[in-house]
Structure 1
């Protein structure tokens, strides 16, 4: 009995195992893949870095807003004047919330992200290198603002405004054009 006639599938399977080919990729194929990965990385990395910087600014902006709200809340709760203080220490922006009777150097300072800095648009009062916003016993404050931006550059900014004498707060981010005062964050 001839196995090739009656069992053609066995012959094909036997030939597949006997004809071993070199499997894998050739050098030109590998180079094409590496070049494509490089092109995609070149296009994607700047967008990813911009996204990460924006997220850092959003987080820092939320912390600044929370610090100012905490100072206002403590002022009305304790019927004393409280302040939110901000300073740069060793290149890191820090914040503290404390009664005005406490010396800022003795306050409990908290670090913001090390890639965030105070922007020139900040209008907080400055005393001994510490920028501050004070809230009286009713939570009132003079209109002021704090603006933060990324140390690595870019146009992204985050702002917290005390927009009325009653201490109403709002947050904002950068715009493409300036307002009447020449600020981009309004």
Structure 2
């Protein structure tokens, strides 16, 4: 009797056990993953682009501050220079006596570009630069302006570093929904 109940129990387990998922269950899971990916991927890409711009803005701000500090320390004129070379935005900090083409250039993230709102020393065509005198002041009124960064992949996100006074005061800003004198980053 004991052997017969064991065989019946084994048969009962085999009838109710499952060895995998059914096709409808798999289709529901694939559909849910597809919906989540469709909603989540654009938001994730936007987040990543914004983080890249924030990092690039911090690097530009730091470069300008470094040039200002060096000018005060050395009692000489120093420059923070910016350019796009082969589609990559680059920055350099160097004394005024060093030609910007001979400076030690550093790259920003390759997905960041100089936006058309950039107007730092617009008389120069290829290199945007700001000069600081021995007191850390912007060397002239033409030094006042902004470096504006945006993403190569599009979107409305912009980040700026602005030289706002002749005393060399700097600030950072991000895009606004309304314009101020034709600029969205102020």
SS in structure 2 at match of 1:177: strand
Deviations 1:104-148 (A, max 9, x none): 111000000000000111111253511111111111113221110
1:52 to 48, 52, 71: 48
Counterparts in 2 of 1:18-57, with a 5 A limit?
18-19=14-15, 21-57=17-53
Deviation of the 1:12 alpha carbon: 6.6
CA distance in 2, matches of 1:60, 1:108: 17
CA distance in 2, matches of 1:19, 1:37: 31
Counterparts in 2 of 1:52-131, with a 5 A limit?
52-125=48-121, 126-127=123-124, 129-131=126-128
Tell me if 1:135 matches 2:117.
no
List gaps (5 residues or longer) in structure 2. Answer: none
Aligned residues: 181
CA distance in 2, matches of 1:54, 1:156: 7
Deviation of the 1:26 alpha carbon: 1.5
Deviation of the 1:3 alpha carbon: 3.8
* Matching residue of 1:184: 184
CA distance in 2, matches of 1:165, 1:20: 82
* Matching residue of 1:157: 158
Following TM superposition, where does structure 1 have runs of at least 4 consecutive aligned residues deviating by more than 6 angstroms? none
Deviation of the 1:13 alpha carbon: 4.0
Question: Could you tell which deviates more after superposition, 110-119 or 13-22?
Answer: 13-22
Deviation of the 1:17 alpha carbon: 4.3
CA distance in 2, matches of 1:161, 1:104: 21
Deviation of the 1:11 alpha carbon: 7.0
* Matching residue of 2:172: 171
Q: Measured at CA, do residues 58 and 18 of structure 1 come closer, stay the same or move farther in structure 2, by a change above 3 Å?
A: closer
Normalized against structure 1, the TM-score is what?
Answer: 0.90
SS in structure 1 at match of 2:178: coil
CA distance in 1, matches of 2:146, 2:16: 74
